[in-house]
Amino acid sequence: MTHTLTIIDTVHPGRPPLTMNEYERAHYRKQTAAKRRIQWQIKAALQTTPIPTLNQATVSIIQYAPNKIRRDVDGLGAFRKAMLDALVMNKVFPDDNTNHVIDGGNTILLDRENPRIEIRIEPTP
């Protein structure tokens, strides 16, 4: 059974709090604030869609962007790192190393009506 966590950022719908390009140029305080925001978003999503502790799963990110601006899929790298750390903090995984998390990749699609980020977690049998 695939678990889907939906993240809707009220400030920037369909956009991660910090892209990889911004992360590289951001001051430490901005990086920390973005990580905390992602941790809060994951915790809130887990209250709506609880996920039991998983030993191993494939984790994919789908960004449903609000417009057709060109985006690099690797721009979700900073979000992925903070999101995986938040999943470990919330005991979805014992750790975010390769023994527990399989990278399912990043995808960016267009959804003007409902921009969001979906995290899909598919447990390994």
DSSP 37-103: HHHHHHHHHHHHS-----SSEEEEEEEEESS-----GGGGHHHHHHHHHHHHHTTSSS-SSTTTEEE
Residue closest to 3 by CA, chosen among 123, 121, 125: 121
The fourth-level CATH superfamily of domain 3-123 is: Holliday junction resolvase RusA (3.30.1330.70)
Over residues 8-18, the mean pLDDT reads: 79
pLDDT value for 90: 97
Phi, psi of 90 (to 5 degrees): -95, 15
| Per-residue pLDDT tens digits for 28-63 | 787 788 889 899 999 999 999 999 999 999 999 999
